[in-house]
Structure 1
Amino acid sequence: MSQQIHSFNNAYIVGISFISALGGYLFGFDFAVISGALPFLRTEFALTPVWEGFLTGSLALGCIVGCLIAGEIAEKYGRRPGLMVSALIFAISSVAIALSKGMVYFVIMRFAAGIGVGMASMLCPMYIAEISPAAVRGRNVAINQLTVVLGILVTNLVNYFLADAGPDAWRWMFGLGTVPSVFFLLGVLWLPESPRWLIKAGQADKARSVLNKIGSAGFVNDTVVAIEKSLTGGSKQSFKAVFEKSVRPAVLVGITLAVFQQFCGINVVFNYTSTIFESVGSNLNQQLFETVSIGIVNLVFTLLAMWQVDKLGRRPLMLAGALGLSVLYLVLAYLLQNQYAAGLVSIFVLLAISTYAISIAPITWVLISEIFPNKIRGTASTVAVVSLWGAYFVLVFTFPILAKALGTYGPFYLYAVICFAGFLFVKAKVKETKGQTLEELEDNLIRH
């Protein structure tokens, strides 16, 4: 499909991308709120390292369930209903966590919040990829990552200003998540269904109506023909189909990238900022200020990633990010081990965040949203994102335990090795995808 001959309604495309990406904002909220709340929760629930890891990681266990639910809803009823369910779960769980009376209840409600996060983490990038023309698909999917980091930054700022609100400050931190949840739900009511899902569901006229709002008549005709061709001979999606020989290479790449995005270790920095800076003598106020600095740097470099992802491409950014993190972790581990000043530690933490934000963070989601064939995209995305959240649980559950056994610096030596292994994997297995339609990528996969 020649993208150059078509014209597009860019304002509409960006608008629906941002609305669907509000799920990413809520993902960022639930992901970041724990960092500011942990100093209070340690006192509230007398947390041991094991319980601290499990309480933090319980979100990820819910995410796994959420991905499985989202996959079913996305295939049977469409992408839009899945986004609506996700918004409702976010709103209800925010209130429920704020009202927690004990640790077990808190963990159960945090698990429930994870269901909403898991649904959004899978459906938002998938939806955006399916409504975006190839030339801007990378940028548009990266909008989801932008809203994630906006959610992280705003949440960190709110946590910082709530820190002096007393021992129940954590309740306000979680409860305020209800506000963006309602905005997300109202926005989803306005979204159209994915044209690719509509065609697969036998609703080609509705799909054409949606595509007409996105681009010119030529774009509509070419897209419908390409989608119908890619679905020819398709059967009901199943997990068995995801591992058929013809698509197995793409699925294994997707799973490995998803796991690597977590095992690269950066989410330890996001979730355990207070632990890391406490180890070099920072007080609570300084610890929460560091979370704000991290949020700002994360936002700036995510914007740079959106600008460059469709220019430089996916592969060069992933290679640079993996190798850069490997080097930075070695320096950070050395600084923590030798008790260097918090200011110097902060510089290398922020360098690691910036490296991750411009590379591995957004590019992983872009690749997961585009490398799978149309016939199995929903189920294959489920497998990849479930793998991602499983890896996240392992990462955040083990960090407090490893930090107690090895010192706060110890795990970062391990993460440095993992990042170098990730660099070698990307170099060997990940192909460039920029500028190709989802159907062209599928054709290339079949030919190779």
Structure 2
Amino acid sequence: MKEANKLKVFMIIFFSAMGGMLYGYDIGIIGGALPFIKSELGMTAAQESFLGGSVLFGGAFAILIGGILADIFGRKNMITASGLIFTISVFMIYFAESYDFLLFSRLVQGVAVGFISITVPLYLTESVPSMIRGLAVTCFQLFLTAGILISVAVSLLFISNDPVTGLETGDWRNMFLTALIPGLFVFIGGFLLIKSPRWLIMKNREQEAEKILSETIGVDAAKQQMQEVKALIEKTKNEGSLLSSLTKRHYLMPMLIVFSVAILAQMTGINSILQYAPTMLKETGLGSVYAAVVGGVAITGLNFVTTIIAVVIADKIERKFVITFGTLMVSIVLLTLAILMYAMPDTSAKGMVLLIGFILYIFFFAIGPGAYIWVIMSELLPTNIRSKGLAVALFLNSMASAILASSVMPVTQHFNGNYGVILGICGVCTLVYSFIAFKFVPKTNGRTLEEIEQGFIK
């Protein structure tokens, strides 16, 4: 790849993957803010859980229409719009004076995150050379984990002890205000992105597409890939809607795999654990909110570092193996924690065991399913239904995450404050995920999207 091409590809990866940082910041910031929002607004356990899950419900709604909008307006324009919506939502949260308006503001923020979660992986999958596609899409996950880490660490700056009462206080409004930085970065950076060449071909703008492909993969490779994409689109353009595609085996199999993985990826409990880690650690005996948030920083820091490893090996070790192994180890950790949460008394030792368990959980999750969920969902779906199929997959992903996140506190309260049931449910679901990855997910490393699709047609 020529130096000019390398710079162009770097710009594509960096500015679009910044959407991952925005997504991660949104997930992480609620963990440090939630205890102080609860204190100020007097929320019930159900309200607390729903506030945590609200951004995911908003994301699910956005994902329903995000694929259609990405097809109409283009991937680049949707990334830019997401940054603008997110920025507006930050101001809404900052000025919220009631639980209802705060909940609505988080839903709006979820809309921005939903658009990001469907558009960026789609854009990266369609815009970078196949030999680094795994690297590019896992960069989205890397930036996502960086956003979580930074937001949790930043929240520590706004936690202090009241000099009069000695009680912990936290400025949750300014915690959220810091989210302006990634929001504006995505909004401004979106203007610097190129258009997706595959989207341009679908819109019959072939000259623009060939020019962009020539700049990223070279003239000769661009001509060959143009022919492959056009031939595949021509072959599949009369095959009907997403619903009618369920009757065609070469569409049905990848859709079933992707939809199953989308649901089970969230049933590992990753978003719930990252959002509620400080609360869970504090309530199991780790101490103050500050100490619990420090524990959260340790967890998210490991998440970030391990994701770097996953990015490095993305196109070197077969993704199918890494996902299968990672999910198997995550299920073992979760099921062990579930048993220990019931067996141990409520002491500081229990809080430390939970922290150590979360660290092991994060390590295996980040190096396996965490880094590659976006790659698998984007790679396996056929070109003709990729945006719509990805929209359905991410809708299922967000709904699973939202329902789980909204259930954590009520379920835990029902079982006398014990998190063992939730962890056990997540452990069983992750075991099923491991089986599906082993049995049905195909090998994709180094193959073009067209080659992967042809594998299902044969």
Instruction: Give the letter for the 2:213 counterpart.
Output: L
Q: State the 1:341 CA deviation.
A: 4.4
Contact 2:15–2:190, Cα closer than 8 Å, also in 1 = yes
The reply to whether residue 318 of structure 1 matches residue 323 of structure 2 is: yes
1:3 corresponding residue in structure 2:
none
Contact 1:160–1:292, Cα closer than 8 Å, also in 2 = no
Deviations along 1:47-93, one digit per CA (max 9) or x if unpaired, are: 21211111111111110121123212211121111111111111000
Matches within 5 A, 1:3-152: 9-152=5-148
Structure 2: distance between partners of 1:398 and 1:299: 26
Contact 2:272–2:401, Cα closer than 8 Å, also in 1 = no
Q: State the 1:258 CA deviation.
A: 0.6
Aligned with 1:410 (options 401, 407, 421): 421
Q: State the 1:333 CA deviation.
A: 2.4
2:230 corresponding residue in structure 1:
228
Q: State the 1:331 CA deviation.
A: 2.5
Aligned with 1:301 (options 287, 301, 306): 306
2:361 corresponding residue in structure 1:
352
Structure 1: distance between partners of 2:2 and 2:206: 21
Instruction: Give the letter for the 2:197 counterpart.
Output: P
Deviations along 1:356-378, one digit per CA (max 9) or x if unpaired, are: 11111121111011111111111
Deviations along 1:234-269, one digit per CA (max 9) or x if unpaired, are: 159743245342301111111110101100122222
Judging changes above 3 Å, is the alpha-carbon distance between structure 1 residues 205 and 351 closer, same or farther for their aligned structure 2 residues? same
Structure 2: distance between partners of 1:302 and 1:289: 20
Structure 1: distance between partners of 2:410 and 2:111: 25
Deviations along 1:385-425, one digit per CA (max 9) or x if unpaired, are: 00000100111011111211221222112222111121112
Structure 1: distance between partners of 2:281 and 2:36: 16
SS in 1 for 2:222: helix
The reply to whether residue 429 of structure 1 matches residue 440 of structure 2 is: yes
The reply to whether residue 204 of structure 1 matches residue 215 of structure 2 is: no
What RMSD, in angstroms, separates the aligned Cα atoms of the two structures?
Answer: 1.7
Judging changes above 3 Å, is the alpha-carbon distance between structure 1 residues 326 and 214 closer, same or farther for their aligned structure 2 residues? same
Compute the TM-score of the two structures, normalised by the length of structure 1. Answer: 0.95
Matches within 5 A, 1:334-349: 334-337=339-342, 338-339=344-345, 340-349=349-358
How many residue pairs get matched? 442
2:165 corresponding residue in structure 1:
none
Judging changes above 3 Å, is the alpha-carbon distance between structure 1 residues 236 and 142 closer, same or farther for their aligned structure 2 residues? same
Structure 2: distance between partners of 1:244 and 1:165: 62
Structure 1: distance between partners of 2:10 and 2:428: 38
Contact 2:335–2:428, Cα closer than 8 Å, also in 1 = no
Contact 2:18–2:140, Cα closer than 8 Å, also in 1 = yes
Contact 2:28–2:274, Cα closer than 8 Å, also in 1 = yes
Q: State the 1:7 CA deviation.
A: 6.3
Matches within 5 A, 1:337-416: 337=342, 338-339=344-345, 340-406=349-415, 407-416=418-427
Contact 1:237–1:379, Cα closer than 8 Å, also in 2 = no
Contact 1:97–1:171, Cα closer than 8 Å, also in 2 = yes
Judging changes above 3 Å, is the alpha-carbon distance between structure 1 residues 137 and 397 closer, same or farther for their aligned structure 2 residues? same
Structure 1: distance between partners of 2:241 and 2:59: 20
Instruction: Give the letter for the 2:68 counterpart.
Output: E
1:443 corresponding residue in structure 2:
454
SS in 2 for 1:164: strand
The reply to whether residue 278 of structure 1 matches residue 278 of structure 2 is: no
Contact 1:199–1:228, Cα closer than 8 Å, also in 2 = yes
Instruction: Give the letter for the 2:425 counterpart.
Output: L
Q: State the 1:431 CA deviation.
A: 1.0
Instruction: Give the letter for the 2:225 counterpart.
Output: T
Instruction: Give the letter for the 1:68 counterpart.
Output: L
Instruction: Give the letter for the 1:222 counterpart.
Output: Q
2:172 corresponding residue in structure 1:
170
SS in 1 for 2:442: coil
Instruction: Give the letter for the 1:30 counterpart.
Output: D
Structure 2: distance between partners of 1:35 and 1:236: 46
Structure 2: distance between partners of 1:259 and 1:18: 28
Structure 2: distance between partners of 1:421 and 1:334: 19
Contact 2:37–2:172, Cα closer than 8 Å, also in 1 = yes
Structure 1: distance between partners of 2:209 and 2:85: 28
Contact 1:237–1:375, Cα closer than 8 Å, also in 2 = no
SS in 2 for 1:279: helix
Q: State the 1:342 CA deviation.
A: 3.1
Structure 2: distance between partners of 1:163 and 1:242: 52
Contact 2:279–2:289, Cα closer than 8 Å, also in 1 = no
Instruction: Give the letter for the 1:240 counterpart.
Output: L
Structure 2: distance between partners of 1:165 and 1:66: 39
Judging changes above 3 Å, is the alpha-carbon distance between structure 1 residues 237 and 21 closer, same or farther for their aligned structure 2 residues? farther
Q: State the 1:344 CA deviation.
A: 3.5
